[in-house]
Amino acid sequence: ETLWNAPFVCASHDASDVFNYGNKAALSLWQLSWDEFVGLPSTKSAEDDQTVQSERRELLDRAAKDGYIKDYSGIRQTSDGRKFKINGATVWTITDKDGNKTGQAVRFDTFSWVGDDGEEEEMMVCEGGEIVSKKSIAADAASDPKDVPSEAEVAEASAAVEAQAAEVRRLKEEDGLDNSSPEIQAGVASLMEKKAVLADLEERIAAAAD
């Protein structure tokens, strides 16, 4: 339930490049129901163009080779063909206990709608998986100072990120676990959630300052 309502888009496909999971934000972004999304070839998430599909394949191959990729940006499209630009995405490879690839996943909390004229509208995912315009968040923050996070809130969120990152390192270094273990995968998922909370607080502070 935590991942389903998380303040970021999260989706995964199996080793055959067929979607097998999408959280609430992912389904909202691609404008599909769970039954429509799960089972859909992940190639459908990008434009049916040789250059675009080649770039997508290269990205996934790099993630498979290196284990993960951070800060990825690229153009994708919704089920009705509306284009959007992913910003700062993390793509990682999912493996079984023997290190065999079983799928790949992506996570990002901001993206931009791309118009026919190239103009971009920045969007972000909030708590509960709701997708909203950054402009509306900035306007709300400006009109209600109570919504601006305090330094204590930011410090607490930052400390939570550091503590979870340390726990993932401990599991790897002291317990000898690798990325295929359920404990590591759960720990990384929790770390991403805490990073998303921190990023949201920082975004709200930046929006109020503009």
pLDDT digit string, tens, across residues 82-108: 999 998 889 998 888 888 888 999 999
Half-sphere exposure of 194 (CA within 13 A, CB side): 20
Residue 43 one-letter amino acid = T
pLDDT digit string, tens, across residues 129-177: 899 988 766 555 555 555 678 888 999 999 999 999 999 899 989 988 8
Measured between alpha carbons, how far is 191 from 101 in angstroms, rounded to an integer? 22
Given this model, what pLDDT does residue 16 score?
92
Whether the pTM exceeds 0.75: the reply is no
Residue 55 has pLDDT above 80, yes or no: yes
Alpha-helix runs per DSSP H in 31-150: 34-37, 50-66, 134-143
Measured between alpha carbons, how far is 195 from 99 in angstroms, rounded to an integer? 26
What average pLDDT does range 43-67 have in this prediction? 86
43: which residues sit within 8 A by CB, 6+ positions away?
A: 17, 53, 56
Asked if residues 105 and 12 have their Cβ atoms less than 8 Å apart, the reply is: yes
What average pLDDT does range 61-80 have in this prediction? 86
